[in-house]
Structure 1
Amino acid sequence: MKNASLILSLSALSLLYGCAAPVSKTPSKQVTTPITPEVEIIEDSERSALDLLSAASTESNNQATILLLQASAKFIYEQQLEQSLHISIELSKLELSKGQKNYNQLNMAEALFELGYIDLAAAELAKIDTENPVKRQLFLQANLNIQQDLLVDGIISFLNYHQQFPVQTVDEAAYVSSLFSQLTPWQKRALTKRSATDLTGWLAYTELVANNAYSSSALNSALNKWQNKYQQHPANLLTADLNASVLEVENASAYKNIAVLIPLSGREAPLGKTIQAGIIAAYQAQPERQLTFIDTNAENMADIVNNLHDFKPEFVIGPLLKTHVDSYLATNLQQTDNGYLDDQYHINNSVEVPIAAQQIDTITGLQNNPTEQSHTWNTLLLNLPESSFLSEQQFALSMLPEDEASQAAFSLSQQGYKSALILSQNTAIGKRMANSFAQQWQRQTNIDASIIYYPSGKEMQQAVKKGLDVNLSDERIYLMRNRIKENVKAEARNRRDVDMIYMFATPDQARLLKPYIDVNISPFANAIPMYASSRSYNVDTDRNTRRDLNGLTFTEIPWLLPSKQVNPLMSADAKKIWPNRNSQLERIYAMGIDALQLVDKVKAMQLVPMLRHKGETGTLQMDANRIISRTLSWGKYRTSRIQNVNMQ
């Protein structure tokens, strides 16, 4: 039966590929060497996949199997992935040795990975039964972890790979460095608890670059200390390029002429004026700049962009509103013979001067020949575009609540919790945050979180009671009392399969939910730790509110947490001027501070991705798409105060 099955498989494969055209790639010659008894390394670099397939049809069972395995691997090399996958599926139906089976699984996993079926590839790779993974297996596992957004595991996998196959080139070292560049502070904390070859050196290198790469002298001093300790570390291959990038950063001229596009009239004026106040507060430290504020609610974006071309700013901050961001990126600049900056305010040397309808000189030679031109100035967008691609000169500051939820899920999963219950507002933003938390939680724990969406009003507490299964316990008590004539004393019991609760709630909702959950926890059970997003925190909490929320831990920007502000003096000044400003506007104000401080740093962060900016809205970092995201701090309600929390 075995011979018949193999002959049928070979016949089918021969018919399938007999008329296929040969490929032109000529792979480099490799030696056929079995590495371990669990995974047979079967390579043939001299023949094409079709040649191997043809040869298999004339060979005996075992040799034919080897040739088919070789052909499957060669098809992957030749990027004929469907053909490789078909051979692997056919071979999986046959009786293979352990080594052949593992090799076939490896071929199948790699083909699926190359085709973009990441989860299927991971499932097939996990079926390989060996304690001694081979080079291709290690490399594939590392790449799968990265593609599954398991950055910490991916880094460990790559370091394990390079333990057996050391870094030899600058490109290899640069790729590992790029992975460390992506680490958020919360991922980095998790990575410090792991162990792998060269990990300590990479973490130290990442830290020194993040803190010192704005200055060549500071960087060289830190690098010298690091190199004395890690003389053979692969990151030494990167120091020449790093120094060159830092010198380029250091020699760049500071931007002097800055335009700010924000809404200063209409419904969104409070937001725009709060950001303006934050920018001006940060401006006081560098009064040599020239700021021009442009009201994006006063004229259409095409006219604004047209005027900017005449105005020639060195840098643009904004727009703020998503619709304005999208139209700003979509607008092709139409040069006209005259440009006007309407409804603007000019800031220079701390003096605010209206310059409404100020005429700007035109560009010589273009007055009578209108042309479309793209934006030529650097821009820091204050919101993410819906779908537009950012150019090399465009950067975006992300304040997505989903990022906060993802950070919370990752950090809490590192605390040893396994079963999470999410309580979320039944709103669009509540669902987005809950889904982001749940996805990250499942990714880290392989356990699905439970989500309870509660409505506003009186039904909110009933939804929570149902989510804790307290209502089921009440029903059982009610039935028991009806069946037994004597008086029965009983306490309702909540579900025991939840060891942590995370809330997405407004401050008022949190103040109702937290005590309600506390009283509905069975006296026979341990208290369930409760956490929340920044939406639950209000800077104007009184003692009664702190008592109701006592023990609730939440994420928040440093600006709103005691002793976490980067610039406490600036915070104290703001409180004197605006003592009653609410938390939402405080966050917008802090965003304005960071926006101006990022002006001279975005190019540096683009050149040196490991750089970080410790801002008032969090620790800021830039990704490969020039999106700047933040890492928040943690606080905890106490009866007498708000306490800072270190989520190590």
Structure 2
Amino acid sequence: MKNTYLLLSLAILTLLYGCAAPVSDKRPSKQASAQVPPEVETIADSELSAMDLLSAATDESNNQATILLLQASAKFIYEQRLEQSLHISIELSKLELSKGQRNYNQLNMAEALFELGHTDLAAIELAKIEIASPAKRQLFLQASINVQQDLLVDGIISFLDYHQMYPVQSIDEASYLSSLFSQLTPWQKRALKKRSATGLNGWLAYTEIVAANAHNPANLNSSLSKWQSKYKQHPANLLTPALNAAALEVDNILNYINVAVLIPLSGREAALGKTIQAGIIAAYQLQPDRQLTFVDTNAKGMTDIVNQLHVIKPDFVIGPLLKQHVDSYLATNYQQIGDINTDLVDDEDLLSEPVPQPMTIETVETSVNIQSPQQQTHTWPTLLLNLPEHAFLSENQFALSMLPEDEASQAAFSLSQQGFKSPLILSQNTAIGKRMANSFALQWQKQTSSDASIIYYPSGNKMQQAVKTGLDVNLSDERIYLLRNRVKENVKAEARNRRDVDMIYMFATPDQARLLKPYIDVNISPFANAIPMYASSRSYNVNTDRNTRRDLNGLTFTEIPWLLPSKQVNPLMSADAKKIWPNRNSQLERIYAMGIDALQLIDKVKAMQLIPMLRHKGETGTLQMDTNRIISRSLSWGKYRTSRIQNVEMQ
């Protein structure tokens, strides 16, 4: 047996010397060596390098050689020589190891794979460990894998379980936990509240306080004081000094008075631009101390517009809206010009048509004397109303995301918490329909480790047939037909739908939903329970009549607060808009709400950047910013009733 280990050690040693990299001078701390399981802990000198341990293994036999090789593999991970560690683990896995040795080897392999970026493979290897009481390194690695796999709720619980055994000792550890809670959406937070872990309630209370008050130092300080009196030993107490300092920094940010808005006010997209303009003006009425300048992005090229902004000198820019304009805006520099005189040339055609008072439109008149033009990057704080396709955001640029894929992902997560096992997705056979269906299916797979069935239906007459096929009703019809042909007597039979579907999710227009929902209802077997049906906001039309609500009765859907009764942040503003535009369709209503949020966000984006836990409860949803300065939304839920639209709290 000694020869086996000797040959193995020599083979590994030869290979690793051939691709050896400089070894770091850093040595494992006592704490790091204490993480070694008892069976491997018998190594005498923890200060040895991985290569030293590997060399020593050639002089040992049996169990001691195995211990040295396992320790060498772990030390290679510490030295960030991950391929070498992985090679040793793979070779060791070919030998007969004790249970403890096998577990430790699996842990080394999983950690090396994780550090190399192979998270899914690391999770598979980690799951092979058979141990009643996980080691410290195993707990930490499992939590890290959960976070990396976008299983944020599981990741937070795993880290809290880890810190129950190994309490938070430093600000860095507390800050990392805080960063995880900062990423939580409202729907993830609802799922987290159902779980239990040491310190969870304190973190949730802390998160709620910061989310609501981070932009108001006085309120934040008062609320945190009450929280601290209740959670005296909570690790988040380590963060309160830095949080209060950040809140004071937020309070010192100057108000943005001169705001330029870049939107299409002519051409094919004029209706969208003017609807956003109306929403911005509505929000302006609540805080009429700004000066707004509307710039038509369809009237001139982006170079001219950016040069004009250089003359206007805005404190803040909202827009552009259209994706091609967004990329062009981010890529366009302005010409640094010489003498500027603002009283000779009328450039009024760059601005929009007049809007009602007390709205202020600045009409800029310029006379330009170009002297030694130089290209300069514009640095105005900017809230883009669409995501860039190619460009990257700078430190002062933010983007409002309204991606339908985010809505689909939220729906999949929320519905996966309801106990459903086998969803059927009915989606339009279009590019956007496929994107939403794939987003739903991906999130469903993450949360449940199972696949959702997808049926893409065409528009027109074949739509209902595709649904019938998806429910397997056609197969039941065929069996009934064959039976009737074989039996002389008259056979009474009811078609049966497939029984492996316990929930249906639709991506459909309002008209398609109105056809599909009743059709599914009548094709559900009388012997089966009704299948709950859910839909995206694309299925909701704010101007529904009683007949439509009857056809869609029971359908639950996601929607922005603005379009749901009692969910609006400002109901009076909604009532005023309804008087002015009583028949405006749902799509334009959503654009109008985005205009409201856009103007209100400009006073919060810097605060959200400094304190990521801060939230804005807007008309388009609960808004939060990620580390890339992308602002995403979380929607509410509604349900069709015959007489009304009912708000639903998805638990």
- Provide TM-score, normalisation by structure 1: 0.96
Does the 8 A contact of 2:292 with 2:362 survive in 1? no
The reply on whether 1:560 has 2:563 as its aligned counterpart is yes
Does the 8 A contact of 2:293 with 2:361 survive in 1? no
Shift of 1:15: 1.6
Distance (Å, rounded) in 2 between the aligned partners of 1:555 and 1:36? 50
Shift of 1:248: 1.2
Give the residue type in structure 2 aligned to 1:566.
V
Distance (Å, rounded) in 2 between the aligned partners of 1:458 and 1:204? 53
Query: Could you say what secondary structure the match of 1:259 adopts?
Result: strand
After superposition, the C-alpha distances for 1:116-157 in whole angstroms (9 at most, x for unaligned) are 111000000011111211111111111100110000000001
Name 2:25's counterpart in structure 1.
Answer: 25
The reply on whether 1:580 has 2:583 as its aligned counterpart is yes
Give the residue type in structure 1 aligned to 2:184.
L
- The root-mean-square deviation of aligned C-alpha atoms, in Å, is 1.9
The reply on whether 1:455 has 2:458 as its aligned counterpart is yes
Relative distance call for 1:272 and 1:39 in structure 2 (3 A) is farther
Give the residue type in structure 2 aligned to 1:537.
Y
Does the 8 A contact of 1:6 with 1:94 survive in 2? no
Moved more, 343-352 or 139-148: 343-352
Name 2:365's counterpart in structure 1.
Answer: 359
Shift of 1:346: 8.7
Name 2:253's counterpart in structure 1.
Answer: 252
The reply on whether 1:204 has 2:205 as its aligned counterpart is yes
After superposition, residues 8-407 of structure 1 pair within 5 angstroms as 8-19=7-18, 20-30=20-30, 33=34, 45-337=46-338, 342-345=349-352, 350-351=357-358, 358-360=364-366, 367-407=370-410
Does the 8 A contact of 1:40 with 1:99 survive in 2? no
Moved more, 603-612 or 499-508: 603-612
Distance (Å, rounded) in 1 between the aligned partners of 2:24 and 2:582? 73
Does the 8 A contact of 2:426 with 2:457 survive in 1? yes
Identity over aligned pairs, percent: 78
Does the 8 A contact of 1:304 with 1:341 survive in 2? no
Shift of 1:273: 0.2
Does the 8 A contact of 1:22 with 1:48 survive in 2? no
After superposition, residues 490-501 of structure 1 pair within 5 angstroms as 490-501=493-504
Gaps of 5+ in 1: none
Shift of 1:359: 2.5
Relative distance call for 1:265 and 1:28 in structure 2 (3 A) is same
Query: Could you say what secondary structure the match of 1:144 adopts?
Result: helix
Relative distance call for 1:359 and 1:132 in structure 2 (3 A) is same
Distance (Å, rounded) in 2 between the aligned partners of 1:42 and 1:421? 56
Distance (Å, rounded) in 2 between the aligned partners of 1:34 and 1:428? 51
Distance (Å, rounded) in 1 between the aligned partners of 2:40 and 2:304? 66
Shift of 1:51: 1.1
Shift of 1:380: 0.2
Relative distance call for 1:317 and 1:196 in structure 2 (3 A) is same
After superposition, residues 588-603 of structure 1 pair within 5 angstroms as 588-603=591-606
Distance (Å, rounded) in 2 between the aligned partners of 1:248 and 1:126? 45
Give the residue type in structure 1 aligned to 2:301.
N
Does the 8 A contact of 1:550 with 1:637 survive in 2? yes
Relative distance call for 1:65 and 1:439 in structure 2 (3 A) is same
Relative distance call for 1:65 and 1:36 in structure 2 (3 A) is closer
Relative distance call for 1:145 and 1:315 in structure 2 (3 A) is same
Gaps of 5+ in 2: none
Shift of 1:353: 6.9
Does the 8 A contact of 1:33 with 1:42 survive in 2? no
Distance (Å, rounded) in 1 between the aligned partners of 2:391 and 2:624? 20
Name 1:629's counterpart in structure 2.
Answer: 632
Moved more, 271-280 or 73-82: 73-82
After superposition, the C-alpha distances for 1:307-358 in whole angstroms (9 at most, x for unaligned) are 11221100000000000001111112222446956421498993457766x3
Distance (Å, rounded) in 2 between the aligned partners of 1:168 and 1:147? 23
Query: Could you say what secondary structure the match of 2:53 adopts?
Result: helix
Moved more, 226-235 or 479-488: 479-488
Distance (Å, rounded) in 1 between the aligned partners of 2:603 and 2:103? 53
Query: Could you say what secondary structure the match of 1:614 adopts?
Result: strand
Does the 8 A contact of 1:170 with 1:237 survive in 2? yes
Does the 8 A contact of 1:621 with 1:629 survive in 2? yes
Shift of 1:484: 1.0
Distance (Å, rounded) in 1 between the aligned partners of 2:419 and 2:39? 34
Does the 8 A contact of 1:611 with 1:621 survive in 2? yes
After superposition, the C-alpha distances for 1:211-262 in whole angstroms (9 at most, x for unaligned) are 1112111111111110110000000001101111111111222110000000
Distance (Å, rounded) in 2 between the aligned partners of 1:26 and 1:250? 43
The reply on whether 1:484 has 2:487 as its aligned counterpart is yes
Distance (Å, rounded) in 2 between the aligned partners of 1:159 and 1:494? 45
Give the residue type in structure 2 aligned to 1:298.
A
Does the 8 A contact of 1:288 with 1:348 survive in 2? no
Relative distance call for 1:241 and 1:350 in structure 2 (3 A) is farther
Relative distance call for 1:571 and 1:631 in structure 2 (3 A) is same
Query: Could you say what secondary structure the match of 1:232 adopts?
Result: coil
After superposition, residues 496-515 of structure 1 pair within 5 angstroms as 496-515=499-518
Give the residue type in structure 2 aligned to 1:103.
Y
Give the residue type in structure 2 aligned to 1:570.
M
Does the 8 A contact of 2:40 with 2:67 survive in 1? no
Give the residue type in structure 2 aligned to 1:55.
A
Relative distance call for 1:217 and 1:23 in structure 2 (3 A) is same
Moved more, 103-112 or 162-171: 162-171
Does the 8 A contact of 1:281 with 1:570 survive in 2? yes
Identify the match of residue 638 of structure 1 among 621, 638, 641: 641
Distance (Å, rounded) in 2 between the aligned partners of 1:368 and 1:177? 52
Shift of 1:28: 3.6
Shift of 1:79: 1.3
Relative distance call for 1:221 and 1:41 in structure 2 (3 A) is farther
Does the 8 A contact of 2:622 with 2:635 survive in 1? yes
Does the 8 A contact of 1:43 with 1:70 survive in 2? no
Distance (Å, rounded) in 2 between the aligned partners of 1:335 and 1:593? 33
Distance (Å, rounded) in 2 between the aligned partners of 1:419 and 1:38? 45
Query: Could you say what secondary structure the match of 1:525 adopts?
Result: coil
Relative distance call for 1:615 and 1:39 in structure 2 (3 A) is farther
After superposition, the C-alpha distances for 1:5-39 in whole angstroms (9 at most, x for unaligned) are 43332221122123435413321442755876698
